[in-house]
Amino acid sequence: MNEYHLGSRDRSQERKVHGNCDDKIQYLLSAEEQILQSISARAPLREVLNGICSALDCQIGNMVSLISLPEDDATSPTEIAQNAALFGLYLFLSAGIVAESGEELSCLEMYCSVPRSPSASEFQLIERAKCLAAIAIDRDIEAGHHANGRVQENPPARGNVRTGLVSVN
């Protein structure tokens, strides 16, 4: 008589799921470590913010993110949303990035190909990304790249959305 243990097949599937989960966690830790190293090395703010957006886009999937600074007046959020809509993208999330002091430093906007809201796990990733962005911007301010709220000799910091062009990962 063959004995079948309930759940034996599920364990192998569970290992696959946990393996995928472990891969995602490893990817996140690696991406976060690289971003923190870039911040510590005083990499250009634009480069760090693009790295944060790229990591977030890759982790969530089918996403386009951007981080706008207050001095980025070249393209308004409304124009960016209109450009995204031209490519069939929907607003997924718009959130302020705030310093520990409560001062709003920038804005994170995310677009996706289907209208939906972030899941609880996606929201946690977004919160981590916002925290990294706040650290990068604070470090940039401390380094003197900001004077009276204006960036000196730095182009506007954007994620993967450019005026008139949207790239979907």
The predicted model scores a pTM of 0.71
Domain that holds residue 109: 8-166
DSSP conformation letters of 70-91:
TT--SS-HHHHHHHHHHTT-EE
* Confidence label for 3 from pLDDT (cuts 50, 70 and 90): very low
Number of neighbouring beta carbons within 10 Å of residue 75:
18
- Give per-residue pLDDT as tens, 77-114: 778 888 899 999 999 999 999 998 899 999 999 999 99
State the CATH number of the domain containing residue 50.
3.30.450
What residue type is assigned to position 117 of the chain? S
- Residue 161 scores a pLDDT above 60: no
Q: How many domains does the chain have?
A: 1
Asked whether residue 153 is assigned to any structural domain, the reply reads yes
- Residue 74 scores a pLDDT above 90: no
Asked whether residue 88 is assigned to any structural domain, the reply reads yes
Mean local confidence (pLDDT), 45-72: 90
